[in-house]
Chain A
Amino acid sequence: DTEVTQTPKHLVMGMTNKKSLKCEQHMGHRAMYWYKQKAKKPPELMFVYSYEKLSINESVPSRFSPECPNSSLLNLHLHALQPEDSALYLCASSQGGRPYGYTFGSGTRLTVV
């Protein structure tokens, strides 16, 4: 299995809703990432998990809450989002902490209304 699977593919949520994005990989990668991408822009790093521990938080607002239940799963919990948070949310994984090639999921297209 050489894929990163993200669910759901599309999500529309109100500003008072609570929702979660899920990411799964079975490549044995020990580092997992959340990125946010706006249209026509490069991905922006949000969080890095290394060996199931949060190692980097790029000053992301607390309305985004990551969770790594085990080495194969990564969640992003969403609460009280703003319309400007609408974007493509990408999960990625890589071997260890050195960026020798990331495998990205197809992303979740999030719309906040």
Chain B
Amino acid sequence: TQLLEQSPQFLSIQEGENLTVYCNSSSVFSSLQWYRQEPGEGPVLLVTVVTGGEVKKLKRLTFQFGDARKDSSLHITAAQPGDTGLYLCAGGDQGGKLIFGQGTELSVKP
């Protein structure tokens, strides 16, 4: 069974700080995705990474896929209160299923 370990589970920071969320596995994934979810809403796709070593940027968010396609990270620069939410990494297995990490609950205080 492929598992994704996401860390940290909780993160509370002040506005303007930087942070990194990690998503690790012992298995290889064909792709990894990052989602952000606000309370009472569905997850919203932020990015999909497919190629080992790939780096993608979305404004203040930087996503990286490990060379071996077993891990990924999300770095947020100068966090803002609007970044608050549940961040989920998810990996696509060969069977066509999306496997989620446990999530990181981020709180950015003004």
> A-side interface residues toward B, CB under 8 Å?
4, 6, 31, 33, 40-43, 45, 48, 50, 55-56, 88, 90, 92, 97-107, 109
Contact = CB atoms under 8 A, between A and B. Distances in A.
Contacts of B44: 104
A102 B98 contact: yes
B44 to A, nearest CB: 7
A48 B48 contact: no
Interface residues of B, number: 25
Nearest to B42: A104
A56 B42 contact: no
9 contacts: A40-B103, A56-B96, A97-B96, A98-B31, A99-B92, A99-B97, A100-B48, A102-B98, A109-B40
Contact of B103 (A42, A92, A100): A42
Contacts of B92: 98-100
A107 B42 contact: yes
Contacts, number: 68
Nearest to A103: B45
Contact of A106 (B31, B41, B95, B105): B41
B100 interface: yes
A43 B88 CA distance: 9
Contacts of A106: 40-42
Contacts of A107: 40-42
Contact of A99 (B86, B98, B105): B98
A95 B79 CA distance: 32
A41 B31 contact: no
Q: Which 7 A-B pairs give the minimum distances between C-beta atoms?
A: A104-B42, A99-B92, A42-B100, A97-B96, A99-B98, A101-B48, A104-B43
